[in-house]
């Protein structure tokens, strides 16, 4: 059966909680302190030698560890006091290159308003924001491909000017992928007949 804490033990627990909070704050501050020192060190190491220096000085670090500290300092170093209440993992997630700037701005606004999002919420929001950013990028790339296809069609129509109707008739039922692959071949890879009119090609 669980024992109800006495007033003395409650006071002790309060002291432990306060000490944990203080050490936790120090842990977060060290993220930026380490990032600051690494950034300074990079400026002192000969060009191209920073990676070797890090591996020599900190052999237990993974390849991305130094970059994570430096990125956190670069993005949020000037706002260290504002974001210092966040967990270190949350800081790493929010300052990562893959995390959209809009989400960081939202979090900063919430912190300024006195809110403190939990690490679980930060993970969820980072995942959602990154997924949305990827989808937007894919859609943008799709628009670029469409534009290239449109330009290709415009070029073909320009060199077959006056015979557009015939061209469309020829393209009816054509396998688009096969046609694209044939158009991509180098001249030496396929036998190309002498130029003929579309009327002859259709005959």
The model's pLDDT over 158-192, given as tens digits with 9 standing for 90+, comes to 877 777 778 887 888 888 878 877 777 765 555 55
Q: How far is it, in rounded angstroms, from Cα 20 to Cα 13?
A: 10
- For residue 8, pLDDT beyond 70: no
Q: How far is it, in rounded angstroms, from Cα 83 to Cα 88?
A: 10
Q: What is the pLDDT of residue 130?
A: 94
Q: What residue has token string 């380490």? A: 34
Confidence class for position 13, pLDDT limits 50, 70, 90? confident
User: Token pair of 149, please?
Assistant: 């296809």
195: which DSSP letter? P
Reduced to 3 states, what is the DSSP secondary structure of residue 6? coil
Q: What is the pLDDT of residue 171?
A: 82
142: which DSSP letter? H
Question: What is the pLDDT of the chain when averaged over all its residues?
Answer: 82
Q: How far is it, in rounded angstroms, from Cα 14 to Cα 179?
A: 75
């Amino acid at each position: 059966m669980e024992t109800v804490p006495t007033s003395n033990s409650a006071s002790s627990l309060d002291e432990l909680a306060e000490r944990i909070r203080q050490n936790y704050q120090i842990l977060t501050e060290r993220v930026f302190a380490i990032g600051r020192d690494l950034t300074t060190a990079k400026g002192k190491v000969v060009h191209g030698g920073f990676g070797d220096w890090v591996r020599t000085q900190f052999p237990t670090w993974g390849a991305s560890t130094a970059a994570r500290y430096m990125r956190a300092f670069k993005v949020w170093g000037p706002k260290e006091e504002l974001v210092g209440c966040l967990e270190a993992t949350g800081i790493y997630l929010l300052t990562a290159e893959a995390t959209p700037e809009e989400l960081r701005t939202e979090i900063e606004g919430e912190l300024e308003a006195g809110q403190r999002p939990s690490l679980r919420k930060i993970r969820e929001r980072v995942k959602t924001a990154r997924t949305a950013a990827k989808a937007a990028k894919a859609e943008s790339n799709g628009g670029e491909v469409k534009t290239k296809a449109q330009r290709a069609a415009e070029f073909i129509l320009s060199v077959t000017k006056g015979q557009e109707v015939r061209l469309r008739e020829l393209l009816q039922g054509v396998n688009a992928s096969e046609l694209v692959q044939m158009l991509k071949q180098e001249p030496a890879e396929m036998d190309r007949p002498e130029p003929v009119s579309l009327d002859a090609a259709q005959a």
